[in-house]
Chains A and B, each alone.
Chain A
């Protein structure tokens, strides 16, 4: 550490003091150590390491809390199960919160007394962040987004050129010269925001969205400047950064005067804009916020998309991203869409709210120092996928897609990983590739 330990400890303890709400304090004191949360955690299932049991990880916060906020902890810490905020304790807290937990929230569903260990782990991230212990890849993505407006540092002209190139490619491949990828269009009803990795490396999901909007006759636009839906501030429990990132998109939506902000397939980006942004910004948003998954389901229900499922004959299974499903409440829409778009859809087990994290959530994908642990933590997901016999995994989250791609190669699953929009675009009989 570049600075004196006691400064970092002081900031972590100040975060504990300032931000500890009644709910979290109650959670800290109420764990009965039954151990039921152990088997709920994909990290524990993958590693068998007792240190990764959710209650054990949460206990790291509780030990610091008891040391500084209870009488017995102050006078006889060893008898109170309390611990000093030492350099080692803060390092262990950061590793537990950022490297051995994806804040997926599955443990909260399995707690015998109704606690939420993930809420405590989010609090652990807040303390670790205050102590300057955010993994460097997550911090670098925050810094780049602050400096350039997006987390990959993509320049405005590169956005415009990429979209124009994709539009041309779309017209060529579909034979439909009227298809558009509109940018900064005033008067649009829908403002569609992206994950920068789509523009930089994986743009076919943007083309798919363009085909679907076109087929549905939507009046939509992209932004050449405020296009980045990601929010690594949320992962780092850095609310100032989180509010800054969501604030950019909210202001742009207001300038454009759109009715609806549509978030591309990204779990944490949806959660940030749909559920967290009003909290960070301290106000209600004057437009609707939806996931593109919900929009596709709505178009289907309204009869605005004609799909031929026989165009997707291979068996498809579905991954439920934690931030879209467990934390986001978008559960059935993706299933309705897939049943209409593919010939052979199978659920993995468990699924929906009880689904396992891919292992790369919570920003872990950007934290290279935990890469080996992340791949290991993907094993329960790999087992789930293999058991379905599917050839395609649909994943409505770009972060999950990257992790699923890695576990696909690491565990030799032999599947293709796709966004739901790409699968739908392949099944389109109107505006689709002939």
Chain B
């Protein structure tokens, strides 16, 4: 299993950089993963998206539909893609510490 080193910390990740240690995730880890992916500054909108994805996943074991994400966070759909240039799956879900979703993502 590969490791990802960010700011002196080492994380166990899959080959695409998705965190494989759910227990170590917290706000600081989210910010580190985002920064290492080029999203340097996390705004309140970023945090609303990341935290909702995280809590949804903790309850259901899957990533939320983007519809629910928009509805629950109040963030506009088109804004999501601007906030997370890598997209909801490879961006937002990755920073929220989820494993990689199945399918064409």
Residues of A near any B CB (own CB < 8 A): 137, 140-141, 144, 151-154, 158, 161-162, 165-166, 169, 195-197, 199-204, 230, 266, 365-366, 368-372, 398-399, 402, 405-406, 409
Question: Which residues of chain B come closer than 8 Å to A154, judged between CB atoms?
Answer: 65
From known contacts A140-B102, A201-B66, infer whether A369 and B15 are also in contact, taking CB-CB under 8 Å. yes
Other-chain contact of A230, B63, B70, B104 (Cβ < 8 Å): B104
Minimal Cβ-Cβ distance residue in A for B71 = A165
A158 close to B65 (CB less than 8 A)? yes
Whether B72 sits at the interface, judged by CB under 8 Å, is no
Contact of A144 among B38, B88, B90, B102 (CB under 8 A): B102
B58 within 8 A of A: no
1/0 contact trace for B89-101 toward A, CB 8 Å?
1100000000011
Residue of A with least CB distance to B78: A204
Give me 28 A-to-B residue pairs in the complex whose CB atoms sit less than 8 angstroms apart, sorted by A's number.
Answer: A137-B102, A141-B103, A144-B102, A152-B103, A153-B62, A158-B67, A162-B65, A162-B66, A162-B67, A169-B77, A195-B103, A196-B103, A197-B89, A197-B104, A200-B63, A200-B103, A201-B88, A201-B89, A203-B66, A230-B104, A365-B104, A365-B105, A368-B15, A368-B16, A402-B104, A405-B86, A405-B87, A406-B86
Measured CA separation A203–B65 after assembly (Å): 10
Contact A201 B87 (CB under 8 A): yes
Cβ of A368 and Cβ of B88 under 8 Å apart?
no
Q: Chain B residues in contact with chain A, CB under 8 A?
A: 14-16, 38, 62-63, 65-68, 70-71, 77-78, 85-90, 100-105
Name the residue of chain B whose CB is nearest to the CB of A400: B104
Scoring B65, B85, B101 by chain A CB atoms within 10 A of each residue's CB, the highest score goes to: B65
Contacts of A369 in B (CB 8 A): 15
B37 to chain A, nearest CB (A): 8
Cβ 8 A contact of B14, one of A195, A366, A368, A409: A368
Contact flag A398-B38 (CB < 8 Å), given A201-B88, A368-B14: no
Contacts of B66 in A (CB 8 A): 162, 200-203
Secondary structure of the B side of the interface? loop
Measured between beta carbons, the chain B residues less than 8 angstroms from A165 are 67, 70-71
Q: Which residues of B contact A162 (CB under 8 A)?
A: 65-67
A to B contact number (C-beta, < 8 Å): 87
Extra 9 A-B pairs, beta carbons < 8 Å, given A197-B89, A372-B15, A402-B105: A137-B100, A158-B68, A161-B65, A162-B66, A199-B65, A204-B78, A365-B105, A368-B100, A402-B104
Q: Which residues of A contact B86 (CB under 8 A)?
A: 405-406, 409
A195 to B104, CA, bound (A): 8
Closest B residue, CB atoms, query A151: B103
Q: Which residue of B lies closest to A173 (CB)?
A: B78
Do residues A409 and B85 form an inter-chain contact, with CB atoms below 8 A? yes
CA distance A197 to B93 in the complex (A): 14
The distance in angstroms between the C-alpha atoms of A204 and B102, with both chains bound, is 20
3 nearest CB pairs, A to B: A371-B15, A152-B103, A201-B88
| Pair A399/B104 contact, Cβ less than 8 Å | yes
Residues A152 and B102 in contact, CB atoms below 8 Å apart: yes
Contact B65 A366 (CB under 8 A): no
Interface centre among B103, B104, B105 (most CB of A within 10 A): B104
Bound-complex Cα distance A280 to B78 (A): 40
In this complex, the member of B62, B67, B70 whose beta carbon has the largest number of chain A beta carbons within 10 angstroms is B67
Enumerate chain A residues within 8 angstroms of B88, measured Cβ to Cβ: 201-202
Contacts of A409 in B (CB 8 A): 38, 85-86
Q: Kindly state the separation between the CA atoms of A104 and B71 in the bound complex, as whole angstroms.
A: 40
Query: CB-CB < 8 A to A202: which residues of B?
Result: 66, 87-88
Residues of A within 8 A of B90 (CB): 402, 405-406
CA distance A368 to B102 in the complex (A): 10
